[in-house]
């Protein structure tokens, strides 16, 4: 595929986690000739879950045919799971996409749209089990591909995910060149990036701190599953 014919859309919604969006967008924007669209209902500034304002570039009703649709996560994901305008848009645009993708809890939005039924997928570690309520098979991995579905785990995995997408679209050498341009060579200061390696007492405290929010998310997921 010619990179000039690649159109990549990322859904930009209120209370998105900005790195879920901007990490992949940084990678995709370096794919020579590709067109990256930040998609929302209108072109007004969108406030992320940490207060950053980001401008959409393309409205839903003006979205061109896409090669890739990507749905990031964030606390606003809860509201989006019952947003019929967004869910209908995703169903419509996905029909013509080469890859249907997500980062973090964006996979729950794909699931709410009925786009992960029967597919293996991942999500943020705190909510990955909820994928099963939406007909998907949860997989604990940083990036999961199942046919034309590609999902990334929590937040920072969006860069790994996006490089994997670029490799599929344009080849590994192009993806490796982008990785080198970005100097993506992580050496985290702590071994605490997932429950698999973090100290058990830290995992327990973090889960407790997140428990009320995760319950809100679970309620939204159950409601979405009942609509499928």
CA distances (Å), 200 to each of 77, 155, 212, in order? 28, 21, 20
Query: Could you tell me the sign of the dihedral formed by the alpha carbons of 207, 211, 213, 216, in that order?
Result: positive
- Contact assessment for residue 153 and residue 131, using Cβ atoms and an 8 Å cutoff: no
C-alpha–C-alpha distance, residues 73 and 97, integer Å:
20
Residues classed as catalytic:
104
- Contact assessment for residue 154 and residue 160, using Cβ atoms and an 8 Å cutoff: no
Token pair of 1, please?
């595929």
The full length of the chain comes to 228
CA distances (Å), 93 to each of 41, 61, 144, in order? 14, 11, 21
């Amino acid at each position: 595929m010619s990179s000039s014919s690649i159109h990549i859309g990322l859904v930009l919604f209120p209370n998105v986690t900005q790195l879920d969006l901007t990490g992949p967008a940084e990678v995709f924007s370096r794919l020579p000739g590709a067109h990256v669209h930040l998609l929302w209902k209108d072109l007004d500034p969108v406030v992320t879950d940490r207060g950053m304002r980001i401008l959409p570039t393309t409205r839903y009703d003006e979205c061109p045919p896409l090669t890739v649709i990507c749905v990031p996560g964030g606390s606003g994901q809860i509201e989006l799971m019952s947003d019929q305008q967004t869910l209908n848009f995703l169903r419509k645009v996905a029909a013509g996409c080469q890859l249907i993708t997500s980062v973090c809890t964006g996979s729950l939005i794909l699931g709410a749209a009925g786009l992960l039924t029967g597919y293996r997928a991942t999500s943020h570690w705190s909510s990955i089990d909820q994928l099963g309520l939406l007909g998907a098979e949860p997989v604990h991995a940083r990036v999961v591909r199942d046919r034309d579905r590609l999902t990334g785990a929590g937040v920072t995995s969006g860069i790994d995910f996006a490089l994997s997408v670029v490799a599929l679209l344009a080849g590994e050498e192009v993806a490796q060149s982008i990785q080198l341009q970005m100097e993506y060579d992580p050496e985290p200061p702590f071994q605490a990036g997932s429950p698999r390696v973090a100290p058990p007492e830290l995992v327990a405290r973090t889960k407790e701190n997140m428990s009320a929010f995760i319950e809100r998310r679970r309620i939204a997921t159950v409601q979405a599953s009942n609509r499928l």
